Amino acid sequence: MSKSLIARILEAVLRATKLKYMDSKEEVDKFIENPPKTKVPKRLFKSKEMDGCEVFTFGDENAENTILYVHGGAYVLEINFFQLLHCRKLAKKLNAYVVAPVYPLAHLNKANQTYDLLTPLYEKLSSRKNLILMGDSAGGGFVYSFCQHIRKH
């Protein structure tokens, strides 16, 4: 069975945009020592401050579902354009209000700093019915650890 044209195009895009630091341990070490200055995409998307945290929001604030979405990126990359598009699609398809925080990145920050930043945001959103915590890739792992943090505290 051959791949579709779209699958082949997506594979080519992923190969062309693969981050250099993924190629070797030496590149990873260089990346950790001197991470690139990344910017959160703001042209098409507008962020706002919510309970001391910069967030992107999508959908109707009064929607029946609320999603706290933590983006992936190996804990070292800012939320990207495709993740923001995904949030917009989630809001539309699931009749949800999606809140995507911009959180402190590793290696310059500790997980507890991110917990401290997201806890007031979570507390504000927890009063809504149908709150969903989710994330992609590293964001999913972070959400899992955040749930344990919430339970503990």
pLDDT at residue 15, rounded to an integer: 78
Give yes or no for residue 13 having a pLDDT over 90: no
Give yes or no for residue 10 having a pLDDT over 90: no
**Angle CA 37–119–63, to nearest 5:** 95
pLDDT at residue 8, rounded to an integer: 87
Give yes or no for residue 43 having a pLDDT over 70: no
Question: Average pLDDT of 3-7?
Answer: 87
* C-alpha dihedral (134, 86, 28, 36), degrees to nearest 10: -110
Closest CA to 149 of 104, 112, 107: 112
Closest CA to 57 of 125, 130, 146: 125
Q: What is the pLDDT of residues 75-100, one digit of tens each?
A: 988 998 889 999 999 999 999 999 99
Residue ranges covered by each domain of the chain: 1-34, 39-152
More confident call, 50 vs 35: 50
List the beta strands (DSSP E) in the chain.
Answer: 47-50, 53-58, 65-70, 96-101, 131-135
Residues 78/102, Cβ–Cβ less than 8 Å: yes
Question: Average pLDDT of 16-24?
Answer: 72
Q: Where do we find the tokens 């070797």?
A: 24
In three-state secondary structure terms, 121 is helix
Which pLDDT band, with edges at 50, 70 and 90, does 42 fall under? low
pLDDT at residue 76, rounded to an integer: 87
State which fold the 39-152 domain adopts. Answer: Rossmann fold (3.40.50)
More confident call, 144 vs 40: 144
